[in-house]
Amino acid sequence: MSDDKPTTWTTAITQIEPNHVRLRGYDIGELMGPVSFGSAVYLILRGELPDEKVGRLMEAILVSSIDHGATPPSALAARTAASTGASLSASVAAGLLAINRYHGGAIEDCAHQLAHIVRRCDETGQSLDCVAEVMLDEMKQAGQRMAGFGHRIHTDDPRTKRLFDLAVEAGVDGPHMEAARAVHRVFASAGKNLPMNVDGAIAAVLAELGFEPSVMNGLFMIARLPGLIAHALEEQARQRPMRRIDPTNHTYDGPPPRSLNPNP
């Protein structure tokens, strides 16, 4: 007997009907205005709206990684494509393609490694520092690096402490953030000044929020997209086509340092 029924597949993200758009069940018009972009990102990825504090933390994560100047591989990739006359979408796609294990994509690996430390502690009853020390030693022997630590420019990544402070303020702290602190302590006691970078801080905070590691690099991509667009557009507006782009030999000529609170 042949089955003539039309095949159908299901999606639980957004319901579209004539004159109606419902994101995870919520009418888009109701979300527009009161709900921040960070909360909407949480909603689409997790299926529920976060509470206000977690929504603000999501915003802070997205702001923390919006741009890091012209030297990151993704900015250089976007600029290189833009300098060839590529469209905005192609330039930005080139930038996104450069987000991987060692740049922007360290978040997922870091989350796995922090979870590994937490699991080993639970299994063995040993302290976080003890387990972190053994794991880092094993990784060193295997020629591997602890994702989310170290930075080419910063010795004390300004985004890390702020993100951890905001998480604690939002009532978010726990074993993954503790494991990240332990890794930092173990590096320091071995005489290695390897700061927890923003990828590491995001990994620890997202893990505390219950995000799966597989989605975490996506949050970095969402955050960095405006920066990549700005770099691609600036490249085409201010530079000649197909120039030789030196990765580091540039100077900043934007606004001087300023504050949201000019008269504190």
Ligand X SMILES: CC(C)(COP(=O)(O)OP(=O)(O)OC[C@H]1O[C@@H](n2cnc3c(N)ncnc32)[C@H](O)[C@@H]1OP(=O)(O)O)[C@@H](O)C(=O)NCCC(=O)NCCS
Binding status of residue 116 toward ligand X by CB under 6 A: no
Which residue, 194 or 206, is less far from ligand X as judged by CB?
194
Rounded least distance, CB 182 to ligand X, Å = 14
C-alpha span between 21 and 257 (Å, rounded): 42
C-alpha span between 49 and 41 (Å, rounded): 9
Interface residue with ligand X, options 108, 129, 178, 199 (CB under 6 A)? 199
Binding status of residue 50 toward ligand X by CB under 6 A: no
Interface residue with ligand X, options 7, 32, 152, 263 (CB under 6 A)? 152
Give 20: exposed, middle or buried? Use CB within 10 Å, 0-12, 13-18, 19+: exposed
List, as own/partner pairs, every contact residues 210-216 make where C-beta atoms lie below 8 angstroms and the sequence separation is at least 24, other chains included: 210/46, 211/45, 211/46, 211/111, 213/107, 213/108, 213/111, 213/112, 213/115, 214/108, 215/45, 216/107, 216/108, 216/111
C-alpha span between 186 and 132 (Å, rounded): 7
Binding status of residue 69 toward ligand X by CB under 6 A: no
> Which are the contacts of 187, defined by CB distance < 8 A and separation ≥ 6?
136, 146, 149, 193, 194
Binding status of residue 150 toward ligand X by CB under 6 A: yes
Region from 81-89, 115-123, 147-155, 210-218 binding ligand X, contact rule CB under 6 A: 147-155
Binding status of residue 147 toward ligand X by CB under 6 A: yes
Total residues at interface with ligand X (CB under 6 A):
14
Interface residue with ligand X, options 24, 46, 112, 151 (CB under 6 A)? 151
Residue number, nearest CB to ligand X: 150
Which residue, 50 or 72, is less far from ligand X as judged by CB?
72
* Footprint on this chain of ligand X (rule: CB under 6 A): 102-103, 106, 145-152, 194, 197, 199
